[in-house]
Structure 1
Amino acid sequence: MATEAHLHQMRFRNTLTFLSNGFGIGVWSIEIAPVRLIVGISEAVLGLALFGFAAAALLGMRVGARMSDRWPINRVCGVLGLAFAVALFLPCLARDIGTLVITLILLGATNGALDVAMNTRGSLIENRYDRPIMSSFHAAWSIGGAAGAALAGVLTGFGFGPVIVLSIAALFVAVSLAASSGAYQPPAPLANECSSSCGKRRQLDPRLAGLCLLAFCALFTEGAIADWSSIYLQGVLESGFAIGFFAFSAGMSVGRLGGDRAVTRYGRLRVGSLGALIAGLAMAYVLWAPSLGTACICFLLTGQGMSNVVPMTFSMAGQVTAKTSQGIAMAATFGYTGFLLGPAFIGGLTHFLTLPLALMVLVITIGVIALTSQFVFPPKEADYQSARK
């Protein structure tokens, strides 16, 4: 059995993994523009190159799941973490579209594989804690992403190019992710401790389909807000149009920091359904009556209401399947697909509708989250223990 000291150690190491991965992606989100200028390609061509990143990430998630099943999870996180750090540096060496696409495929694949591995380890640790802790890992990712973007913005503002910025980021990520691998391995996954009949039942658990739908709708909404909130506010406000995504990100981070306590106190069902209800009403209101004040408050509430949907979904997906990594990989794949399709779908609708009307689709997807939560999340009195039985 895992001792309390070992569990705290594992939690700290996995938190560091999430923080480092978020930091790397945050840096890369800022360095995309300078890399594009160095390579000398248009925004349209860059969009096609980034499609390679997304496609490779989806494939990497399946690879990460298989690695997590086959080898000790700490070693998998360590190896994939170092691979991600190397891949994070490579785009700064690209000088033509061909090499850029290759480096983006490597970055996407390692990021997708690491995403599944660290969420799998998080689910295994959460099972041993016997209480929700998954939201704290995702909060670390959000904080790391903000820190990475801030550092890259400052360094770029001082005139440092992608080679210097990505070198610093890759070195930090490599050291921290290597340190987060650890020597102590968690005991065998709880799913493997069940009887074979339990494993078969979990493989067929219909809740997994609902959890995949939740992941898709949640990340569909997040992706669309990330790409379209500033454009929407730019069209209706004279200034302060960047406040939308900033407020959304702040609400997401704050919500995740307190997410585990909320789930423990109120249960997944209430946190998921009530949070989605608040987010949907806030999103609808900012589309109906946009102003600087409503944008700040409503996007903050939207982020806070949506903040724990993905962590809870990944946690449950790892519990209702015979293999933790396979359930998380399925939910992550559906979620990441939604994250990619969300911005494109809203953009396509703008050819037929105004942007505010197109963004009303997000109110619908948030409503689907609130409704689906009623069927996939157990009530508080049966929340944590029964989810694994």
Structure 2
Amino acid sequence: MPTLNKIRTAISSRSGRIPTDPDLRRLRTALTLFFALDGLLFAGWVVRIPAIKEQTGASAGDLGLALLGVSAGAVATMTVTGRLCRRFGSHPVTVAAGVLMCLGIALPSFAHSALALGLVLLVFGVAYGGLNVSMNSAAVDLVAALRRPVMPSFHAAYSLGGMLGAGLGGLIAGQLSVTRHLLLLTGLGLVVSVLAGRALLSRPAPVVDRVAPAKEPGAKPAGNRRGLVAVLGLIALCDSYGEGALADWGALHLQQDLGARAGLAAVGYSVFALTMTVGRLSGTALLERLGQTRTLVAGGATASLGMLLGSLAPTAWMAIAGFAITGFGLANIFPVAIGRAGELAGPGGVALASTFGYGGMLLGPPAIGFLAEWFSLPTALTTVAGLAAMAALIAYGTRNMVRAAAR
């Protein structure tokens, strides 16, 4: 093929030299720490929402509006962050967003009204959205440099950080005030940001030099690539819809519909989160064995079957088993979709797919609520199975177009 040598991915650096293997290992460690920090901080904030509600005196409705600040800040920032990564590089943007998130998590403890809380959560959301896009963009380039599908391992670090943040928050919630707890997270986060940030800033960042597709004979036009990135974002949305739905409604389903006690109901989401983490830890081996398309299809099919069991099972323990299967199935869909988007379109692709994915996290809980009111909660939860199956079908249906565009 005459254009084969022109359509390639060359790994280089802004300093003009290719990073050595030790450099790549240090970069991987540093990025892993940022992913874990992201999960730790976000979970640490979430477990203190009840105390923040009491502190601000907000009603349930006012608190819901204030919490939209996180979502609004994140979504508004994601596309901008893609441009910043192209302009300044993903490493400096990752460090800056990480520091801002560490500082932003302390702000809610100083809010004493719902309005003030909403405004400071905008800042927190900006940092959260910026960090997610920039560190995923950096991870995409590092995966290309390593030539191994290690993207799921970064997201496993996020899951582990979230479990640690939630567990730590639960242990110290009764011993430390909200202010001291969040300031503790700020201090810990800044230490991690400085240590990991030095590694990111002091070593050359692998950059994928992509030839503009519209200028290459026979290559996919840029518009087609953007369309494929949007499709990958839709796959990420299907995944995160399920994550958001189970986080907010899984325990209630076990308690309300299946008569589980509060402790057992709480176990349901914990098992889901655990199997998702285990699935991501084994994601690299799975990708090396099955490839991206088969991993997406198998994951979507597994999650669909698991969620049908989880939503329609007659007993709590059977439903929890369904949640566990769902966690395994959903584990690698989001990382693979984001990684593919980055391969096709760089930071801009990561930004677009992440915006879709984050939209799914926002869409899931309220959609389940409306459907539960119209029909029933078990029926509403079957939509998670439907979207997981849709992710598998989309991945299979677009496999040849994505491969051709990536080539």
Structure 1 counterpart of 2:239: 218
Q: Which runs of 5+ in 2 are unaligned?
A: 1-17
Structure 1 counterpart of 2:8: none
AA at the equivalent of 1:73: S
Q: Give the match's secondary structure for 1:241.
A: helix
Deviation of 1:304 after TM superposition, in Å, equals: 0.7
Q: Give the match's secondary structure for 1:237.
A: coil
Structure 2 CA distance for partners of 1:151 and 1:252, relative to 1, 3 Å: same
Match of 2:221 among 187, 201, 206: 201
- Say if 1:124 and 1:190, in contact at 8 Å, map to a contact too: no
Match of 2:49 among 24, 32, 38: 32
AA at the equivalent of 2:92: R
Q: Give the match's secondary structure for 2:112.
A: coil
- Say if 1:232 and 1:355, in contact at 8 Å, map to a contact too: yes
Match of 2:195 among 151, 154, 179: 179
String of CA shifts for 1:60-114, please: whole Å, max 9, x gaps: 1122112111103221111111111111111101112222111100000111011
AA at the equivalent of 1:334: F
- 1:69 matched to 2:86? The reply is yes
- 1:255 matched to 2:279? The reply is yes
Match of 2:182 among 166, 170, 173: 166
Structure 2 CA distance for partners of 1:52 and 1:306, relative to 1, 3 Å: same
Deviation of 1:207 after TM superposition, in Å, equals: 2.4
User: Which has the larger displacement, 67-76 or 311-320?
Assistant: 67-76
Count of matched residue positions in the alignment of Structure 1 and Structure 2: 382
Structure 2 counterpart of 1:89: 106
Match of 2:269 among 245, 268, 271: 245
Distance of 2:211 and 2:105 partners within structure 1: 35
User: Which has the larger displacement, 135-144 or 70-79?
Assistant: 70-79
- Say if 1:211 and 1:376, in contact at 8 Å, map to a contact too: no
Distance of 1:238 and 1:365 partners within structure 2: 27
String of CA shifts for 1:322-347, please: whole Å, max 9, x gaps: xx110011001011111101111111
Deviation of 1:187 after TM superposition, in Å, equals: 3.4
Structure 2 counterpart of 1:60: 77
Q: Give the match's secondary structure for 2:374.
A: coil
- 1:311 matched to 2:335? The reply is yes
Structure 2 counterpart of 1:333: 355
Distance of 1:72 and 1:361 partners within structure 2: 39
- 1:297 matched to 2:343? The reply is no
Deviation of 1:266 after TM superposition, in Å, equals: 1.1
- 1:140 matched to 2:161? The reply is no
Match of 1:230 among 243, 251, 263: 251
TM-score (structure 2 length as normaliser): 0.89
Distance of 2:215 and 2:188 partners within structure 1: 43
Match of 2:140 among 108, 120, 123: 123
Distance of 2:322 and 2:400 partners within structure 1: 28
Q: Which runs of 5+ in 1 are unaligned?
A: none
- Say if 1:21 and 1:173, in contact at 8 Å, map to a contact too: no
Structure 1 counterpart of 2:396: 374
Deviation of 1:287 after TM superposition, in Å, equals: 2.3
Deviation of 1:234 after TM superposition, in Å, equals: 0.7
Distance of 1:283 and 1:78 partners within structure 2: 37
Quick one: percent identity of the two aligned structures? Answer: 31
TM-score (structure 1 length as normaliser): 0.93
AA at the equivalent of 1:339: M
